[in-house]
Structure 1
Amino acid sequence: MKQEELADRLQNSKRISLKKKFQCVFEGITKAGNPTLLNEIYTELYITEGGTGELNEEHEVRQIEAASRKADRAETYIRQEELFQLPAGRQEPIRTVMTKGVAGIGKTVLTQRFTLDWAEGKANQNIHFIFPFTFRELNVLKEEKFSLVELVHHFFPETKEAGICSFEDFQIIFIFDGLDECRPPLDFHKTRILTDPRKSTSVGDLLTNLIRGNLLSSAHLWLTTRPAAANQIPAECVDMVTEVRGFNDPQKEEYFKKKFRDKKQANKIIPHIKRSRSLHVMCHIPVFCWITATVLEDLLKNREGGELPKSLTEMYIHFLVVQAKVKKVKYDGGAETDPHWSPESRKMMESLGKLAFEQLQKGNLIFYESDLTECGIDIRAASVYSGVFTQIFREERGLYQDKVFCFIHLSVQEFLAALHVHLTFINSGVNLMDDKQSQISELKQISPVQFYQNAVNKALQSPNGHLDLFLRFLLGLSMQTNQSLLQGLLTQTGSSSQTNQETVQYIKEKISKNLSAEKSINLFHCLNELNDGSLVEEIQQFLRSGRLSTDKLSPALWSALVFILLSSEEDLEVFDLKKYSASEEALLRLLPVIKASNKALLSGCDLSERSYAALSSILSSQSSSLRDLDLSNNNLQDSGVKLLSILQTFHLFLSSPCNFTLQLGSLHSSPFQGKLPPLYLLLHLCPALHSELTTVFSYFPPCVVLCVCSLSGCLITEEGCASLASALKSNPSHLRELDLSYNHPGEAGIKLLSAALEDPHWRLDTLRYGETCCTLKRQRRKSYSCRLTIDTNTVNRNLKLSEDNRKVTCVLELQSYPDHPDRFDYWYQLLCRDGLTGRCYWEVEWRKKVSVSVSYRGISRRGDSHHCLFGLNCQSWSLTCSDDRGFSVSHNNNEVNISSSPSSFSSSSSHRVAVYVDCPGGVLSFFKVSSNSLIHLHTFNTTFKETLYPGIWLSPGSSVVLIRSE
């Protein structure tokens, strides 16, 4: 049989086997409970482009905290089916992709969905074969020797049966899931080069050569990993690094609405989670959403009217109790009303707690027989544990039925480890966290207060927060209310309300010290586990009263203010220091908030070199969100100049040439002058500078890119326009908007500056004077015309496509589009397929009422919230066109009506609008098309942080036609 025929037969059998393997999932765990179709339960997870393979050793709960603040921010997203497709502007092919994400974020499910889409013929049909591996399976083979062909044959026997012994002629994707669990050594420096896929070697050497490209260089590789293990692969071996983002707020709501079909229950659960900061943050992780849903489903069914868990410890205790109850009823034949904890169950839980603690100390999240033996657990007993406590501890089997064990999530392991330490202390007085003592006989008895204080100290000594979550659980277990929930497992209690009060006071003293923001925030979460919110309530009273006097704030209250601001549900879009105190002390105290903000207003705050050093540190941080900084009316000096080298956008409000010289003039003589990247400047001049225009513009160093210049009300005459034109000729290629409103430029001055609109060497798009706004002529803009193609995977089912998919009509009949996570399921919307780059222009014809929009790819698709509708969120900008009300524009839920009489829509040409976007310049303009001219409607000036996609919203009965460029 020919090779092509063999390949076709193999491909068909491969699709069938992979579809069978991945079409169903067992949420939270493997092979327990009832299987669910992946297509039914799957909630879209977005993959963010960019990032690096740098080592991140912070505890993942800290990474989750940081990520939750960015959940609704604009980021560059890539769809899973596009992982190996060349993005716009990239020439080199993508061979190896690394996807990072914390434990439980959904990396494995993402690879399963990717594989299932291929097997079902939905995506990546140019690929002949996908071979999905997990490092858990590969680990048991670390002592074996294989060739690449033999390894594929062993894991996928159908390839051997088909007689395929060479893969060089096929398009293949190898998926390696769980690099952080890899045990075969990957030595990229000493491993000998291997190029023959038929030659045997160790699994570690085989993987190393495959990743390096020595073996099967034509194949694609996709590796997933937790962030801490990303640096195991050299950067030069990875073509693209991506990161899985967890659930944002709309996705959290979508998940719980899917899990709880009863709207009354869903409407009770979602607000409850939002009220608890710790629960809301942890729901960023899909597996925690599953844990939460498991607990709340049981509580709502069996304890109607009772309080729902408010803390992490309480949630995990309930989760443990639910599993004990399942064991009692399902495996022991008991009734739901029987005591949950039998002697056998207690012994099992004690063994699992010991395993969790000892392996956590070693950093192990998966365990093999040797690991169990070290903890005194027989492998047969472990199999029993995984069989009855199926949703806590699980067993997996590799290719040769070798058993692999793990807890369902790192947080469950940490909870059980804390429970083990707590039980050991209250039963025997032994402090397992005291590693200075080696023998139990030598251990000194300490009081409960000392025990918890020692735990706080040890957690604070960890530079990366590795004990943060463990500490929260340990302190939460000290609460008598939580201990009562574990009645039957705990034979005695180990603390009193007095112990809790002393622990609370000790933590408050620690918060008053000069701790890092991350450590301080975790201590506030610890106070929450101890049911103490006094510091937060005190600062909230100050904020509510409007009498916040920062001069009187203690260090602890400053920390509480930071915690509140970072915990706010409002986007940290703009932070204004003057709202709290225009002082250097306030800036230094609130640095974590500035770091998490998109824009910071620090004008006139008398900043010194110390402030600039702190700001430079923030801006240099990979995790900083700050991109837009207003430092006007501050003395920059050389330290400030160094700070500017990191900025993307700089707002400058000038009142005098002297003030300007102090702020930007020093860039000419600065030692950093030759090293600065382009600095995008939005310049606003006061009227006093009308005679100093030439002086002002002469100060621009080469690194300054003048984007917007506002000279409104500066008393500029015809003579001033001549000076202005002369000055701007030295910087013609970046000025995009010039505002001369409320001046006296005269006809000659207007003519002189209007010529710049048609000059191809100038980027000037908009010139404002009087009540007039001149823009580029239609012909020049049409030179940037782009051809739009509708992404059919996004089209709402009430939108009908026709005329070669150029016409869209909103109809009552549902269209038979296939299920797809990118599809808008409520709003009558769609996106176009290709992202916009550079300058782009397009026109559409509309009828009745529509919105013409641009949006980031990451806009939500599920539900009726404002997160999904164009123009009502920070991810999209929209022009609404209506026969009844004329035009309006909207962004981030802010709408601006544009004066236009409905009667003006009498001719067909008046139902045509145009969109012009300058992506790198941050300009988005909407126009009404009339004859061969454009009537300017509105311009947004902003910074686009990721790729834009054209979008359309339609009202019922409306239609839109995408106009092909002439």
Structure 2
Amino acid sequence: MVEKDVCNSCLTAVRALRVSLVDELEGQIDSLLDVLVTREVFTRDDREDAACQPGPRARVRKVLDILECKGEEAAGIFLSVRSLQRQHPKEGNTDQLQSKEYYKVKQKHKDVLRRRSESMLFYNTRHGEKILFSEYYVNLQLVDGHQGLEIKRHEVLTFGQKRLCLQQKSAAHRKIQPAELFSSANGIRPIKKVLVTGVAGIGKTILVQKMLFDFGGNEDHLAFDFIIHMTFRDLNLIDKPTNFRELVLRKNRHLAKEVDNILANDNKLLIILDGFDEFRNYASCDVDVFVTEPDEDAEVKEVFGSLMLGELLPNASVMLTSRPAAVNHIPVGCIDRYVLIAGFSFDEVQDFFARYFQDDTLADRMFKVASANDLMLTLCYIPAFCYIVCCILKESKDLGGESPKTMTDIYVQYLVALLRSHAQARAEACLQGQTAGAAQQLSDTVLKLGRLAFQKLMEHQTLFYSTDRDVAALDGCSFVSTFLDKTVTQEPGCTEEVFSFPHLTVQEFFAALYCAVTDQPLPDALQGTASPSEATDNGHLDLFYRFLSGIVSKRNAHFLSRQLGLRCHEEKVESYRHKIIRELTMCCESGAHILNYLHCLFEQQDPSLALAAQPQTLRVNVSDATLSQMDYNATKYFLNLTKGKIEELDLTGTGVSCSALRDIQPLLLRCESLWLGENNLDMDAVQVIADVLQVSESITYLGLGWSNIGDEELLALCRAIRVKKKLKELWMEGNRVSYRGLLSLSDLTPDPLKKVVAIWNNSTDGEPESLCNQESINVNFTDDSTWEGWGQWVFKRCEVSSNDKLVMVLHKVCNVSVHCLEAQWAKTFYSQLSQLIKDRIECCTEDDMCKKLKKFDRILDL
């Protein structure tokens, strides 16, 4: 009777401990099953019944259910095994079994990752060709810090300038190695979530491959047991609820036996998620529905959001890669480290040339050619474009053209170079016109690719499915694999193929080519029918327009006709040329944003177009976009072809630097109005402006609002103004100027300075009497027409700004109580601003941006 009570107490204990046992045993359930089989408590069938359950917690529950049927003796043995494990967690038989199997799977996984990452995939790799990663990989520059993650009009075109800035500021931003990504600089705060960002083609995926390659080769610098690699392109194919465990096993079935131990040991797990910007749900990942278990089903975005926010696998390390345009959608506050890939350094570009050409003499010669071309060298800092440039140079002896001067030149030559490289014998026959049928087939293939690129670009799509009509039309076409990447994913009972161009700019180029050589009408936006609200789409078609302009230029049109038999429509060529002339004239006369038209003119490389534009006034507005060296080149190209006075040059919010101002100094001397506000101008930059003021016979109006200038900078400007005494108005709102600095202007007002605007500076109510009597110096708002015009100018900028830029402006102009402004212009201005914010909130689809806009809406509604 006593023995029965003891046995009953074992079974009762198991029942009573059921809830805590699930938590306690989930990390060792597989090894526990092995012990129970060894002790003959469970049969092999029992073990299989438990092992087939979805997830470790479900397995524990199944074991406890089976024990109920086994009786008291089985429960007693189970409790004794559990007790042994708790007393000797690292010495028991279960851990020895686990360790052995765990190690075997760990090594197998490394072998798999090594095999998957050992080849370098270039855009024109021939089928079956193997290019070893170890022989072609060139180090990337990784910079620690949140360096410029704001959205740009086109990331690739702003990168060259960023690259130079990073080189100059290397001391301020710590350069790190891939092995250091999860190492804390101070050793205090643990690094668990790392965001790696960079423009398209900069090497984000190559960095991922480097980490997988090193880990697979047993490099010990990454202190993880397992790395799980996923791409958002693959995750896009999942349209039904799933769980993290299944996501791991989709491409890692070899982990099935130990997957639950791997996930339970999450402090030794690194999860790499590549290409967040390609995730179709990237704008809705800040979820409020969480999963906490690896085997819990949910939508992919909920699984991802739970992982990033630490609700799922809280001890796991996560590396996320993304282009800058999407980072604002990553759940707020979850990132421990921001890392920017800064591409290649000058030395690494040389290293890439050496590895590509595999001949030191040839590599040196080709590098000198690239270095002599500013555009080529700028692009070479981006790894993907460095490869394109090398590809062009390799084939240049056969192309017979001059050195490329524009982006379009490079891509046209790239197109021909890839065709030659991929099917040399056949392509040469086609390109030399020896086989008319083959040449026609080649042209047809290019046009079908162009149609696909155009249709999807207009729909904002970069991923195409095999069921799509335009993709199906490419079936059996030659050279398709040269320009389209294919991903094959398998689901139960179905195989899905997903295609994409290897680079967004390649898609934009093909789309422009199709538009140029077919009767496809120009997009509505290019016809000038887009509304102001539609014009704030972050330049979705900017690069497409530039490629189109370059393709219909006489030199590239002739080159394409000669090399590929593709002829641009003459009517469309002339129509486009007239459009450039018309738009340039209109923008110069109205002061509208002109930068993309300047790029289109630059791509044409035809001075007669600029000379044909005869605006009555020359107003050049390139504001509100961080300018790259290519942007400055396009601006200089146009203005150097014009003569006489530049009535207005607006460089507001362009990130202009001292070196850039020096570069365009001859143009500044021709300006009547020069607007340089919202740039961080140091003393060196201010000195360039002062040099212009000392010699210019034209400059009359100067704007330096919110440019971080203080008293010392103002004194330098005052000394320069006294030389020529031509400047009539100085706008410097929102700076650090004190009354002491303003006093230095007293002898310059009211002649020559009729107006000095110094609102929102370092002022107090106790202003000196001398300044109170200076009507020319405005330190407070008034009710005159000056401020009414100022309000209209600011509101016009707000109307055409993206939401991101609008928020930046609102931070500046909403730092004053509306109720303190009794002037009618102020009431009208802030009323219009409030309505604009409400309209933007109504159309906004981004939660984080909505929150920011609503904050300003509340301020203005007070």
Give your verdict on TM over 0.5. yes
- Normalization by structure 2: what TM-score? 0.60
Q: Deviations over 1:465-488 (max 9, x none)?
A: 222211111111212332232235
Q: Choose which of 218, 232, 235 in structure 2 pairs with 1:121.
A: 218
C-alpha separation in 2, matches of 1:22 and 1:597: 49
Inter-CA distance 191–265: structure 2 relative to 1 (3 Å threshold): same
Whichever residue aligns with residue 180 of structure 2, its letter is E
Question: What is the match of residue 423 of structure 1?
Answer: 517
Q: In the TM superposition, what is the alpha-carbon distance from 1:307 to its structure 2 partner?
A: 2.7
Choose 412-421 or 531-540, whichever is displaced more. 531-540
Percent of pairs with identical residues: 23
Matched, 1:474 2:548: yes
Q: In the TM superposition, what is the alpha-carbon distance from 1:18 to its structure 2 partner?
A: 1.0
SS at match of 1:235: coil
SS at match of 1:192: coil
Matched, 1:288 2:373: no
Matched, 1:35 2:130: yes
Paired residues for 1:604-753 under 5 Å: 614-616=704-706, 618=707, 630-633=713-716, 642-644=734-736, 670=764
Q: Deviations over 1:157-181 (max 9, x none)?
A: 2211346445232411100001111
Question: What is the match of residue 524 of structure 2?
Answer: 434
RMSD: 5.1
Paired residues for 1:51-200 under 5 Å: 51=146, 56=151, 58-70=153-165, 72-75=167-170, 76=173, 77-88=175-186, 91-143=188-240, 145-162=241-258, 164-169=260-265, 170-184=267-281, 187-188=284-285, 191-200=288-297
Inter-CA distance 668–174: structure 2 relative to 1 (3 Å threshold): closer
Q: In the TM superposition, what is the alpha-carbon distance from 1:25 to its structure 2 partner?
A: 0.8
Q: In the TM superposition, what is the alpha-carbon distance from 1:57 to its structure 2 partner?
A: 5.5
Which runs of 5 or more structure 2 residues have no equivalent in the other structure?
1-95, 612-617, 621-631, 695-699, 720-728, 749-755, 768-862
Question: What is the match of residue 121 of structure 2?
Answer: 26
Q: In the TM superposition, what is the alpha-carbon distance from 1:105 to its structure 2 partner?
A: 1.3
Question: What is the match of residue 395 of structure 2?
Answer: 298
Q: In the TM superposition, what is the alpha-carbon distance from 1:594 to its structure 2 partner?
A: 7.1
Q: Deviations over 1:134-155 (max 9, x none)?
A: 1111222232x33322322332
C-alpha separation in 2, matches of 1:454 and 1:669: 46
Q: Choose which of 481, 488, 497 in structure 2 pairs with 1:403.
A: 497
C-alpha separation in 1, matches of 2:212 and 2:710: 37
SS at match of 1:246: coil
Q: In the TM superposition, what is the alpha-carbon distance from 1:493 to its structure 2 partner?
A: 4.2
SS at match of 1:350: helix
Inter-CA distance 654–82: structure 2 relative to 1 (3 Å threshold): farther
Q: Deviations over 1:684-740 (max 9, x none)?
A: xxxxxxxxxxxxxxxxxxxxxxxxxxxxxxxxxxxxxxxxxxxxxxxxxxxxxxxxx
Q: In the TM superposition, what is the alpha-carbon distance from 1:576 to its structure 2 partner?
A: 6.7
C-alpha separation in 2, matches of 1:45 and 1:240: 18
Q: In the TM superposition, what is the alpha-carbon distance from 1:322 to its structure 2 partner?
A: 3.3
C-alpha separation in 2, matches of 1:134 and 1:671: 58
C-alpha separation in 2, matches of 1:336 and 1:261: 27
User: Are the equivalent residues in 2 in contact too, given 1:175–1:222 (CA < 8 A)?
Assistant: yes
SS at match of 2:229: strand
Q: In the TM superposition, what is the alpha-carbon distance from 1:242 to its structure 2 partner?
A: 2.2
C-alpha separation in 2, matches of 1:455 and 1:328: 43
Inter-CA distance 173–384: structure 2 relative to 1 (3 Å threshold): farther
Matched, 1:483 2:557: yes
User: Are the equivalent residues in 1 in contact too, given 2:516–2:572 (CA < 8 A)?
Assistant: no
SS at match of 2:338: strand
User: Are the equivalent residues in 2 in contact too, given 1:603–1:633 (CA < 8 A)?
Assistant: yes
Q: In the TM superposition, what is the alpha-carbon distance from 1:312 to its structure 2 partner?
A: 2.4
Q: In the TM superposition, what is the alpha-carbon distance from 1:629 to its structure 2 partner?
A: 8.2
SS at match of 1:193: coil
Choose 631-640 or 78-87, whichever is displaced more. 631-640
Q: In the TM superposition, what is the alpha-carbon distance from 1:522 to its structure 2 partner?
A: 3.8
User: Are the equivalent residues in 2 in contact too, given 1:577–1:600 (CA < 8 A)?
Assistant: no
C-alpha separation in 2, matches of 1:605 and 1:454: 37
Number of equivalences: 614
Paired residues for 1:709-858 under 5 Å: none
Q: In the TM superposition, what is the alpha-carbon distance from 1:634 to its structure 2 partner?
A: 5.4
Question: What is the match of residue 4 of structure 1?
Answer: 99
User: Are the equivalent residues in 2 in contact too, given 1:641–1:672 (CA < 8 A)?
Assistant: no
Matched, 1:239 2:336: yes
Inter-CA distance 353–594: structure 2 relative to 1 (3 Å threshold): same
C-alpha separation in 2, matches of 1:231 and 1:87: 25
Question: What is the match of residue 222 of structure 1?
Answer: 319
SS at match of 2:272: strand
Inter-CA distance 55–78: structure 2 relative to 1 (3 Å threshold): same
Matched, 1:554 2:637: no
User: Are the equivalent residues in 2 in contact too, given 1:391–1:408 (CA < 8 A)?
Assistant: no
User: Are the equivalent residues in 2 in contact too, given 1:500–1:530 (CA < 8 A)?
Assistant: no
C-alpha separation in 2, matches of 1:663 and 1:515: 22
Q: In the TM superposition, what is the alpha-carbon distance from 1:99 to its structure 2 partner?
A: 1.5
Matched, 1:509 2:585: yes
Q: Deviations over 1:388-427 (max 9, x none)?
A: 33331221223545211001111110111111111223xx
Question: What is the match of residue 303 of structure 2?
Answer: 206
C-alpha separation in 1, matches of 2:662 and 2:139: 35
User: Are the equivalent residues in 1 in contact too, given 2:676–2:704 (CA < 8 A)?
Assistant: no
C-alpha separation in 2, matches of 1:249 and 1:239: 30
Whichever residue aligns with residue 474 of structure 1, its letter is L
Inter-CA distance 654–9: structure 2 relative to 1 (3 Å threshold): farther
Q: In the TM superposition, what is the alpha-carbon distance from 1:454 to its structure 2 partner?
A: 5.5
Q: Deviations over 1:786-845 (max 9, x none)?
A: xxxxxxxxxxxxxxxxxxxxxxxxxxxxxxxxxxxxxxxxxxxxxxxxxxxxxxxxxxxx
Question: What is the match of residue 141 of structure 2?
Answer: 46
Question: What is the match of residue 309 of structure 1?
Answer: 404
Inter-CA distance 214–119: structure 2 relative to 1 (3 Å threshold): same
User: Are the equivalent residues in 1 in contact too, given 2:552–2:568 (CA < 8 A)?
Assistant: no
Q: Choose which of 394, 404, 418 in structure 1 pairs with 2:485.
A: 394
Q: In the TM superposition, what is the alpha-carbon distance from 1:113 to its structure 2 partner?
A: 0.8
Question: What is the match of residue 355 of structure 1?
Answer: 452
User: Are the equivalent residues in 1 in contact too, given 2:703–2:730 (CA < 8 A)?
Assistant: no
Q: In the TM superposition, what is the alpha-carbon distance from 1:106 to its structure 2 partner?
A: 0.9
Matched, 1:526 2:600: yes
User: Are the equivalent residues in 2 in contact too, given 1:45–1:246 (CA < 8 A)?
Assistant: yes
Paired residues for 1:946-957 under 5 Å: none
C-alpha separation in 2, matches of 1:330 and 1:11: 46
Q: In the TM superposition, what is the alpha-carbon distance from 1:551 to its structure 2 partner?
A: 12
- Normalization by structure 1: what TM-score? 0.54
User: Are the equivalent residues in 2 in contact too, given 1:100–1:227 (CA < 8 A)?
Assistant: yes
Q: In the TM superposition, what is the alpha-carbon distance from 1:628 to its structure 2 partner?
A: 13
Q: In the TM superposition, what is the alpha-carbon distance from 1:191 to its structure 2 partner?
A: 4.4
C-alpha separation in 1, matches of 2:365 and 2:691: 46
Q: In the TM superposition, what is the alpha-carbon distance from 1:265 to its structure 2 partner?
A: 4.5
Question: What is the match of residue 822 of structure 1?
Answer: none
C-alpha separation in 2, matches of 1:500 and 1:203: 45
User: Are the equivalent residues in 2 in contact too, given 1:612–1:643 (CA < 8 A)?
Assistant: no
Paired residues for 1:589-608 under 5 Å: 589=675, 599-601=685-687
Q: In the TM superposition, what is the alpha-carbon distance from 1:237 to its structure 2 partner?
A: 1.9
Paired residues for 1:566-581 under 5 Å: 572=658
Question: What is the match of residue 840 of structure 2?
Answer: none
User: Are the equivalent residues in 1 in contact too, given 2:380–2:386 (CA < 8 A)?
Assistant: yes
Inter-CA distance 479–492: structure 2 relative to 1 (3 Å threshold): closer
User: Are the equivalent residues in 2 in contact too, given 1:513–1:555 (CA < 8 A)?
Assistant: no
Q: In the TM superposition, what is the alpha-carbon distance from 1:40 to its structure 2 partner?
A: 2.1
Q: Deviations over 1:238-297 (max 9, x none)?
A: 222222223344433432343234556445544544454444433332212212222221
C-alpha separation in 2, matches of 1:653 and 1:36: 66
Question: What is the match of residue 674 of structure 2?
Answer: 588
Inter-CA distance 456–280: structure 2 relative to 1 (3 Å threshold): farther
